[in-house]
Amino acid sequence: MEEVEIPQYFLCPISLQIMKDPVTTVTGITYDRESIEMWLLTAEEETETAACPVTKQPLPKDTELLTPNHMLRRLIQAWCIVNAEKGVDRIPTPKYPMNKSNILRLIRQVNNNDHQLCAEALRKMADLVSENEKNRKCMEQVGAIKAMVYFIVKSFKCEKLIPGIEEALRIFQLIWNPISENKQYVKDNHDLVQAILWILKSELKTSHVLIKTHAMMVLKNVTEVSSSNLLSGLDPDFFRQMANTLRKNGKYYISQQATKAALQVLIDACPWGRNRLKIVESGAIFELIELELSNPEKRVSELVFCLLANLCVLADGRAELLKHAAGIAVVTKRTLRISSATDDSALQILGLIAKFSATNEVLLEMLRVGGVSKLCMVIQADCEPHLKKKAREILRAHSHIWSNSPCIQVYLLTRYPGQ
């Protein structure tokens, strides 16, 4: 680039770079929008004002008080065009962030009964939330979550997917913040849960993966803050749908992201009412083992094992795991291979089986698939002390059966007799 003399007033006083989007503050100084917004963002949180970088006068933190300097921007753009042959890049016309009044107008359109007007407003809002964090924060502050909940439930009650449902789900997901004001719209909202379940079961011709992935992510956000009353009242059909989404080659499979969300939803639901039994009866344990056999990513394995550990607390859960030909084998194989979280869950599962479901057939199966050898390895491995303790307890409880096997080192079964 040929050396070009840049007019001093084209430069931002903070970044000392050519301003792309000059804005003037109440102190009369012009800065590049990005630089002054960052300056205000990093100011002390306790105060309502910051010091103007040039004049040191108090400067309100409200970025809506920044006035676009259109005349200066046009001068900079014209100068860039004149000097383009010297290697100066043209400054594009900036997209100004929406203010609260404009977003409130869009929200009113979303609440309108005109489907076309709703869809157009949602498209504009979806574009805005995708642009920057400031827009997302602004939407959250003016109550966009309430509008999205209303729209999603309205679509469900109309029994047809109204145009804009994908955008509504995406907006909800991107701006969701579990503050008390937002929680009140979802924590006891049975209609919202039913609406999402209805979307997951719907036959979609276009955007199948996107819509249903967004729906599952929204469901995850909702169940994380739902009341015990809502969670304990979830019906068997809900859990069957969650189990269906785990089947990788099934009709209802969505995406890896949706799978992780579904697993988290099931984990969050476990403690309430009879949900563990409902999950077991949905056939989820078979799907969890099959999912794990497909060699998923680390986070999926951690969630699968956490859920299995929750379900194996029940006799029916342990029975379902043992019924699968690879049940004990997959728990054994994953131990010491994924993460400490997975190891913790795996030892819980093996401990529950060894304590409450330890028939001769099960104990021999643990020996045959390497479960006993793996427990011996846990004792010798560099892992958490409580995991070693759990492994020793399991080995000691059934040493009279396993000690005669040539598959393991006998001294490991008797090394810690007093512990």
**Which residue ranges make up each domain of the chain?**
8-86, 97-229, 234-366
- Residue 416, pLDDT score: 46
- Residue 64, pLDDT score: 73
- Residue 147, pLDDT score: 94
Q: What's the whole-model pTM score?
A: 0.77
- Residue 409, pLDDT score: 55
Contacts 24+ apart (CB under 8 A), 110-113: 110/147, 110/148, 110/150, 110/151, 110/164, 110/168, 111/147, 111/150, 111/151
Tokens 């749908």 found at: 241
- Residue 375, pLDDT score: 92
* Architecture of the domain defined by 8-86: 2-Layer Sandwich (3.30)
Q: What angle do CA 14, 15, 17 make, to 5 degrees?
A: 130
Tokens of 17: 């770079």
Tokens of 186: 């979802």
Residue 170 CB partners (closer than 8 Å, separation 6+): 126, 129, 210, 214
- Residue 100, pLDDT score: 79
The CATH homologous superfamily of the domain defined by 234-366: Leucine-rich Repeat Variant (1.25.10.10)
Q: Do domains 97-229 and 234-366 have the same CATH topology?
A: yes
Distance between CA atoms of residues 221 and 198, nearest Å:
17
CATH topology of domain 97-229: Leucine-rich Repeat Variant (1.25.10)
In tens digits, the chain (419 residues) has pLDDT values of 457 889 999 999 999 999 999 999 999 999 998 899 889 888 776 677 888 999 999 998 877 788 889 899 999 999 998 888 878 888 887 765 567 778 888 899 998 888 888 999 999 999 888 888 888 888 988 899 999 999 999 989 887 777 899 999 999 999 999 999 999 999 999 999 999 999 999 887 666 889 999 999 999 999 999 999 999 999 999 999 999 999 987 778 889 999 999 999 999 999 999 999 999 999 999 999 999 999 789 999 999 999 999 999 999 999 999 999 999 999 999 999 999 999 999 999 999 999 999 999 999 999 999 999 899 899 988 889 999 999 999 998 888 888 776 655 554 555 544 44
- Between 144-158 and 165-175, two packed helices, what is the crossing angle to 10 degrees? 150
Distance between CA atoms of residues 127 and 396, nearest Å:
61
- Residue 34, pLDDT score: 87
Measuring CA to CA, which residue among 178, 164, 261 is closest to residue 217?
261
Contact between 354 and 346 (Cβ < 8 Å) = no
